[in-house]
Structure 1
Amino acid sequence: MTKLVSLCIYPLTQSMLLCLIGILVIAVSVRGRLFGLLVQALAMVWLWIASTALFADALMASLEADARPKTVSALPDAQAIVVLGGVDRGDVHFGTLPDLHHAADRLIYGAKLFQVGKAPLVVLSGGSRDDERPEAERMRDIMHVIGIPDEALLLERNSRTTEENAVYAAALLGNKGIERVLLVTSGYHMIRAQRWFEKQGFDVIPAPTDFQVILVKPSVPRWLPTAQDLARTTRALHEYAGLAVQAVK
C-alpha cells in the first residue's frame, strides 16, 4: 500500500501526469489552450523544484532531525543487531556480488557494531520479489567480504516492507528470547522503522546511518536541478507516504 501511495506523489509521476493533462486540454478545446499551457508550466516548475538540492535537503533534514547519529562507543550493548534491507539493486549478470547503492552504509555500520562487540548476532532482514534471490542472502555475501563470520549471521528472508521487517524479525527472534536490539537503517527511515519494531515488542536502540544531508559542497548550485537530488526528494516523499500509511494502521 505504501508503495502505491508513494507512487502517486513521486515528482516525476506527477509532472508527467500534469503534462499529459495539459496536452489533452489543449487538444480537445481551443479555449482551454491557456489553461493547458499553465498546467504544463506547473509540471515543469514542480519537477525543477523537486530536483534541487535546496528542496531535497529540506525534506531529508526534516526526517533525519530525530535520528541523530551517535559514536559507536556511545551506543549501549544489545542482544542483536538488526540490519534492514534496501541496500542493493539485486544480483547482476557479470558479477559475483550484488550491485550496492547508497543504503549499503547500513551493512557497513552493522558490521562495525558487531566488530566492536555491541551484540553477538547480526540479523539481516530482506525478502525478494518473484524469483529473485532473497536480499538477506545477498546481504550475507557482502558481510562475508567485510569479514563477519557466518555463525554470527541470522537471515530473515521473507519481508518486503518495513512492517514485515519487524513482524518477521519478531517471529525469528522471539523463540531466542531476544528483545533488545540495535536497529540499523537509514536516518530518514528510522522514525517509521523504530515504530514498527516497537509495536512488535522490541526494546529498540536506534543506530541510524546513511544520512542524506551532507556537508560537501555540491558540484552544481543548489538551486539547479539534478537527477541525484530528484532521487533524494523521491525517497523523502516515499518515507512521508509510509508514515501516513503507518498512522492509519
Structure 2
Amino acid sequence: MSLLVYPLTQVILAVLIGLFLLKKDWPRSGKWLIFFATAWLYVCSSALFADFLMGSLEDYYRPKVMSVVPKAEAIVVLGGGTRGDTHWSSHGDLNHAADRMLHAADLYKNGKAPFILVSGGAGPGDRSEADIMEQILVTMGVPARAILKESNSRDTHENAVFSKVILDGKGVEKIHLVTSAWHMRRAVPLFAREGYEVIPAPTDYQRLVGTPAVPPFLPTVDDLARTTYALREYVGYLVYRYRGWL
C-alpha cells in the first residue's frame, strides 16, 4: 500500500512543500501548511486519536470466552505478526501482532480445530512468514504435523485466494479466522467470498485497560504507529471495495 497513507509521510511532504512555498514568496501559505502538518502529526501521535480509530475498527468484533467458541475444521492464521529474520537470532522477530499465533495455539490446544493453516509470504530470498509462524507455533507446543503452510501470499486478498487451494484439498468448509481485531472487518468477507463459513477469532486488541505511562493527550511513537495501522486499514478496506473484492 502506498506510503502516502502513512501520517509521517504526509507530514514530511507537507513540511517540504511549506518550505518551498516560503522560499517562493508565499509565506502565508507556507506557514499555514507547516502549522497544519505539525498539528496533524500531534493528533496522530496521541492516544486519544489512536484509541478512537482503533475502537472504530475493533468494536465490530468482540472477543469470546473459549468455552463458548464453537468447533471448526481448520484454524487459519494470517501473517503480520513477525518482522522477519534478524541477525544472530534463530527465530523470526515478533511484533505487536504476534498475539495471532498465541491465539491460534490456544484455539488448537482447546480442541477447536484439528489443524492450523498459517498464511504469509516474503520478499525474494527471505524466509516466508508462514515458515516463521510454523517455527513459533511449534515452540508453543503445537505439533508440526498439525500445521499447514501457505507461503506465497503478499496481502490479505492473496491470503484468502491462496489458502483456498490448501483448504479445499482438505475438504474444509468451516474455519476459525485468526487476525488482529482491527483487521477482521476486511479479512472476514474475503474468506467468506471464497465459500467458507467463517468464525471470526479476533485478537491483538490495541486499546489498553490500565492507565498508560504517558497521558493520552501527549504524543508517543507507539500511538503514531497505532494510528498508522488504523488509517492504513481504512484505506485498504476502501481499495478492496473499489476492486470488487469485498
TM-score of Structure 1 vs Structure 2, range by shorter chain: over 0.9
CA distance in 1, matches of 2:124, 2:231: 26
The aligned counterpart of 1:238 is: 232
TM superposition shift of 1:9: 2.4
User: Number of paired residues?
Assistant: 243
The answer to whether structure 1 residue 150 and structure 2 residue 152 are counterparts is: no
Partner SS state of residue 64, structure 2: coil
Q: Quick one: percent identity of the two aligned structures?
A: 48
The aligned counterpart of 2:116 is: 122
Aligned mate of 1:9, from 5, 10, 19: 5
Moved over 3 A (4+): none
1:168-187 to structure 2, matched below 5 A, reads 168-187=162-181
TM-score relative to the length of structure 1: 0.96
TM superposition shift of 1:239: 0.3
Unpaired runs of at least 5, structure 2: none
TM-score relative to the length of structure 2: 0.97
The aligned counterpart of 2:132 is: 138
CA distance in 2, matches of 1:88, 1:143: 12
Partner SS state of residue 225, structure 1: coil
Aligned mate of 1:18, from 11, 14, 30: 14
Q: 1:160 is matched by which residue type in structure 2?
A: R
Unpaired runs of at least 5, structure 1: none
Partner SS state of residue 94, structure 1: coil
Residues 98-150 of structure 1 show CA distances to partners (whole Å, capped at 9, x for unaligned) of 11011000000000100010000100111111211111000111011101101
The answer to whether structure 1 residue 167 and structure 2 residue 161 are counterparts is: yes
Partner SS state of residue 214, structure 1: coil
CA distance in 2, matches of 1:69, 1:134: 29
Aligned-CA RMSD value: 0.7
TM superposition shift of 1:176: 1.5
TM superposition shift of 1:83: 0.6
Aligned mate of 2:32, from 38, 48, 58: 38
Partner SS state of residue 178, structure 2: strand
CA distance in 2, matches of 1:52, 1:24: 28
The aligned counterpart of 2:87 is: 93
The aligned counterpart of 2:77 is: 83
Q: 1:60 is matched by which residue type in structure 2?
A: M
CA distance in 2, matches of 1:9, 1:93: 30
The aligned counterpart of 2:194 is: 200
The answer to whether structure 1 residue 211 and structure 2 residue 205 are counterparts is: yes
CA distance in 1, matches of 2:155, 2:141: 28
Partner SS state of residue 206, structure 2: coil
CA distance in 2, matches of 1:72, 1:156: 26
Residues 151-209 of structure 1 show CA distances to partners (whole Å, capped at 9, x for unaligned) of 10000101110000000111111122101000000000001000110111111000000
Aligned mate of 1:110, from 104, 110, 120: 104
CA distance in 2, matches of 1:96, 1:9: 33
CA distance in 2, matches of 1:139, 1:131: 17
